[in-house]
Amino acid sequence: MNVLKIATAGSVDDGKSTLIGRILYDTKSLTTDKLEAIETRSKANGFDYLDFSLATDGLVAEREQGITIDVAHIYFSTAKKSYIIADTPGHVEYTRNMVTGASTSQASMILVDARNGVIEQTYRHFFINNLLRIKDIVVAVNKMDLVDFSEEKFNAIKAEFEKMVANSDYKDQNITFIPVSALKGDNVVSESENTPWYSGRTILEHLESLDAKDVFEKGQARFPVQTVIRPKTEEYHDYRGYAGKLYGGSLSVGDDVTVLPSTTKSKVKSIHFFDKEFKKAKKGSSISITLENDVNVSRGDMLVKTGEEPKITKELTATICWMDKDPLQASSKYFIKHGVNDVQAKIISLSTIMKPDFSGEIENPTQLTLNEIGDVNLKLSKPLFVDSYKNNKSNGAFILINPKTNTTSGVGFIK
């Protein structure tokens, strides 16, 4: 069955967790024991309604503070497909967790509180969704019950949001606006009688209409070698299987391939998945490959079809979203993880910081602080073989690791 990955976005208290809880409830995805737990807890908190955010806020601190701190992954399915929803935090402080949840998602539900309209966090989250090139955006104008389900309010917010979209460079993005009340259930799973002026789909109807696709599916065949399988048994004496996941395109036995970085040429001899051999492998498959001639291939190398080589480079220009308390500064050093490849990187210069409301850029900044997004030039200790993120998500993104703390400090999107 197809799996659609969705992330939520929007400011604190816009109702992300409530919306997911409502979807789970209305699709009967909450098991009896979980529902009972929500009922008990809601009563204990003195609510006369069910607090659906309790379905996803899994940490004690979250329940105490009533906010989401880290991503929760929620699973449910309909007759049509399976869903994985990443419920992400709205608080600026936890933007890194929002990016974590959104990175693997194909669609995003951005919530806007109908009373407040588009605010700074809405801009920021839409900006990040854009940077990640998330294809389908649902703008859920929430808490419509608190504005008398006003059509004017909804249209005003829609207009405001569209002004922001006009500045975006990602023209293929689909944006859909839906007026909802997550708490009461209007237009979430079933149509609302309170919005006779709205004739569009409900949130679930809209999600059901989307085609589930792996976010990495676009782009040419890239096969980063994770490990070399050498059984060293009599039966498989000379077997050298290159194990990895095929991102994009397909690979067939007999295909001419180039090994990077050595640029050695070879041919695909066989394709294996477990104890079976295949003539062809499709994108998204974790497989093993053997090559015709005895070439030297190890972890971090990449097989590509000859004629479809990515750029081999020791310098990168990338947009970086910073996630560390220690700011990124010119001349600091990090580890880069690009796919399964690790090299060292030095920051050469910072060229701009982007204002997340699309209002422009700050030139020549001295540093990038937590949650800031900017363009950076880097020098690498060894060449990487890269595509631009726009053309190939899997081969166009990297993470920066702080060598002192080993934490993941930033994510980069190659220009």
Partner 1 sequence: MSLDTIKVGALESEAIHIFREVVSQFEKPVLLFSGGKDSITLVRLAQKAFYPAKIPFPLMHIDTGHNFPETIEFRDRLAKELGVELIVRNVQDNIDSGKVKEETGRYASRNMLQTETLLDAIEEFGFDACIGGARRDEEKARAKERIFSVRDDFGQWDEKNQRPELFDMLNGKIDLGQNVRVFPISNWTELDVWSYIEAEEIEIPSIYFAHKRKIFVRDGMIWSAEDDVVYRDEEEVVEERMVRFRTVGDMSCTAAVLSDAITIDKVVAEIRESTISERGARIDDKRSEAAMEKRKQQGYF
Ligand X SMILES: Nc1nc2c(ncn2[C@@H]2O[C@H](COP(=O)(O)OP(=O)(O)OP(=O)(O)O)[C@@H](O)[C@H]2O)c(=O)[nH]1
Contact predicate 230/244, CB 8 Å: no
By beta-carbon proximity to ligand X, the closer residue of 95 and 130 is 95
Please identify which residue in 6, 13, 210, 397 interacts with ligand X, judged by CB under 6 A. Answer: 13
Residue 67 site contact among partner 1, ligand X, none (CB < 5 to 8 Å, cut-off depends on kind): ligand X
Please identify which residue in 15, 248, 249, 365 interacts with ligand X, judged by CB under 6 A. Answer: 15
Please identify which residue in 103, 106, 142, 392 interacts with ligand X, judged by CB under 6 A. Answer: 142
String of contacts with ligand X for each residue 182-211, x by CB under 6 A: xx----------------------------
- Counting beta carbons within 10 angstroms of the beta carbon of residue 404, is it exposed (0 to 12), middle (13 to 18) or buried (19 or more)? exposed
C-alpha closest to that of 100 among 143, 62, 68: 68
By beta-carbon proximity to ligand X, the closer residue of 51 and 375 is 51
Residue 356 site contact among partner 1, ligand X, none (CB < 5 to 8 Å, cut-off depends on kind): none
**How many C-beta atoms surround the C-beta of residue 346 within 10 A?**
14
By beta-carbon proximity to ligand X, the closer residue of 183 and 297 is 183
By beta-carbon proximity to ligand X, the closer residue of 67 and 281 is 67
- Which tokens is 277 given? 């051999």
- Least separation in angstroms between residue 358's CB and ligand X is 22
| Residue 119 binding ligand X, by CB under 6 A | no
- Least separation in angstroms between residue 55's CB and ligand X is 10
Residue 366 site contact among partner 1, ligand X, none (CB < 5 to 8 Å, cut-off depends on kind): none
String of contacts with ligand X for each residue 29-68, x by CB under 6 A: ----------------------x-x-------------xx
By beta-carbon proximity to partner 1, the closer residue of 163 and 269 is 269
Residue 220 site contact among partner 1, ligand X, none (CB < 5 to 8 Å, cut-off depends on kind): none
By beta-carbon proximity to partner 1, the closer residue of 364 and 405 is 405
- Least separation in angstroms between residue 74's CB and partner 1 is 7
Please identify which residue in 90, 101, 241, 374 interacts with ligand X, judged by CB under 6 A. Answer: 90
**Which residue is listed with tokens 């816009």?**
14
| Residue 96 binding ligand X, by CB under 6 A | no
By beta-carbon proximity to ligand X, the closer residue of 22 and 272 is 22
Segment lying near ligand X (by CB under 6 A), choices 143-151, 208-216, 389-397, 401-409: 143-151
What part of residues 286-315 is at the interface with ligand X (CB under 6 A)? none
Segment lying near ligand X (by CB under 6 A), choices 85-93, 216-224, 237-245, 376-384: 85-93
Q: What is the 3-state secondary structure (H, E, C) of the chain?
A: CCEEEEEEECCCCCCHHHHHHHHHHHCCCCCHHHHHHHHHHHHHCCCCCCCHHHHCCCCHHHHHHCCCCCCEEEEEECCCCEEEEEECCCCHHHHHHHHHHHHCCCEEEEEEECCCCCCHHHHHHHHHHHHCCCCEEEEEEECHHHHCCCHHHHHHHHHHHHHHHCCCCCCCCEEEEEECECCCCECCCECCCCCCCCCCCCHHHHHHHCCCCCCCCCCCCEEEEEEEECCCCCCCCCCCEEEEECECCEEECCCEEEEECCCEEEEEEEEEECCEEEEEEECCCEEEEEECCCCCCCCCCEEEECCCCCEEEEEEEEEEEECCCCCEECCCEEEEEECCEEEEEEEEEEEEEECCCCCCEEECCCEECCCCEEEEEEEEEEEEEECCCCCCHHHHEEEEECCCCCCEEEEEEEC
Residue 12 site contact among ligand X, partner 1, none (CB < 5 to 8 Å, cut-off depends on kind): ligand X
What part of residues 146-185 is at the interface with ligand X (CB under 6 A)? 146, 181-183
Cα(412)–Cα(53) distance, integer angstroms? 32
- Least separation in angstroms between residue 50's CB and ligand X is 9
Applying CB under 6 A, the residues found at the interface with ligand X are 10, 12-18, 51, 53, 67-68, 89-91, 142-143, 145-146, 181-183
